[in-house]
Amino acid sequence: QVQLVESGGGLVQAGGSLRLSCAASGSIFRINVMGWYRQAPGKQRELIAAILRDDNTNYGDSVKGRFTISRDNAENTVFLQMNNLNTEDTAVYYCAADVAGKNYWGKGTLVTVSL
């Protein structure tokens, strides 16, 4: 099993930046892909960024060019650097890990972007 704990959410003004962290523990050697999802009020959860074992990354169109996913293998942590935030980025952000096709989830961290 894999345990994930997100941190770094909070309130930020539009145009500002935040960095989210996701600390992984457990059977981390089995993780194939780690990703960040978000769910805004009244909307479905969407994948916004993913990083593969070979460090290739993918981004959703809504965040491309503004968000960057990265990781620190020594700390078993994945980051999401979010720049130029706007009010549409307000959501609960979840970290997820894919292990042989099964997703493990963190509890989420709330990001609120104000005008």
Give 30-84 pLDDT, tens digit per residue: 889 999 999 999 999 999 999 999 999 999 999 999 999 999 988 899 999 999 9
Percent of the chain with pLDDT over 90: 87
Residue, of 29 and 4, whose pLDDT is higher = 4
Phi–psi pair at 75, nearest 5 degrees: -100, 0
96-105 burial: b if 16+ Cβ within 10 Å, else e: bbbbeeeebe
